[in-house]
């Protein structure tokens, strides 16, 4: 894992932390836990209770529900943020596609960070909104593709005559 200076410089580049003060980021980066996962390791499973957010330092992970892939994330991105906020079970599984190094921030650490620097909450809201928009676009494309393969109701009526 990176040195404390490298860790700070890395965390500063992660979108949800970009606008935060240097002294605050230094403290936040110092309390994050270092975790390493081998390729094909399931980091967490859909339905598990989640109380932490992960920042991918190196490697690539797959976000999926069963065999259906939702996203592939690379270094500099975070995952697991939804369960940290709503205390609901994880909505998807995350599996390492290759050896990965992560930083983990617990729910308690994140809440304390938000109390001290509310800007982090705004950045996480932006991240969640962007991911929701991307998923909505994917759903729309899939629905349009599905509908284009189905005969229209007027064609069915004409065929029955």
**Quick one: pLDDT at residue 42?**
97
89-129 pLDDT tens trace: 999 999 999 999 999 988 888 888 788 778 777 877 887 78
CA-based nearest residue to 102, from 110, 111, 94: 94
- 158 pLDDT band (50/70/90 cuts)? very low
CATH number for 4-160 (one of 2.60.120.10, 3.40.190.290, 3.40.640.10, 1.20.1560.10): it is 2.60.120.10
Which residues are CB-contacts of 19 (< 8 A; sequence separation ≥ 6)? 119, 123
> Three-class SS of residue 118?
coil
Place of tokens 């979108």: 15
Q: Which of 53, 122, 126, 61 is closest to 86 using CA atoms? A: 53
Give the pLDDT score at 1. 57
Q: Whole-model pTM above 0.85? A: no
């Amino acid at each position: 894992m990176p040195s404390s200076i490298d860790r700070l410089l890395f965390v500063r580049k992660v979108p949800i932390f970009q606008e935060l003060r240097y002294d605050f980021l230094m403290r936040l980066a110092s309390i994050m836990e270092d975790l390493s996962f081998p390729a094909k390791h399931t980091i967490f499973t859909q339905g598990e209770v989640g109380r932490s957010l992960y920042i991918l330092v190196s490697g690539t992970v797959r976000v999926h529900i069963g065999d259906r892939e939702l996203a592939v994330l690379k270094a500099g991105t975070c995952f697991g943020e939804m369960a940290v906020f709503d205390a609901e079970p994880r909505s998807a599984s995350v599996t390492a596609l290759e050896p990965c190094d992560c930083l983990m921030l617990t729910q308690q650490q994140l809440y304390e960070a938000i109390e001290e620097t509310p800007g982090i909450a705004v950045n996480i809201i932006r991240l969640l909104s962007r991911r929701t928009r991307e998923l909505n676009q994917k759903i729309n494309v899939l629905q349009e593709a599905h509908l284009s393969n189905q005969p229209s109701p007027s064609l069915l009526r004409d065929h029955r005559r």
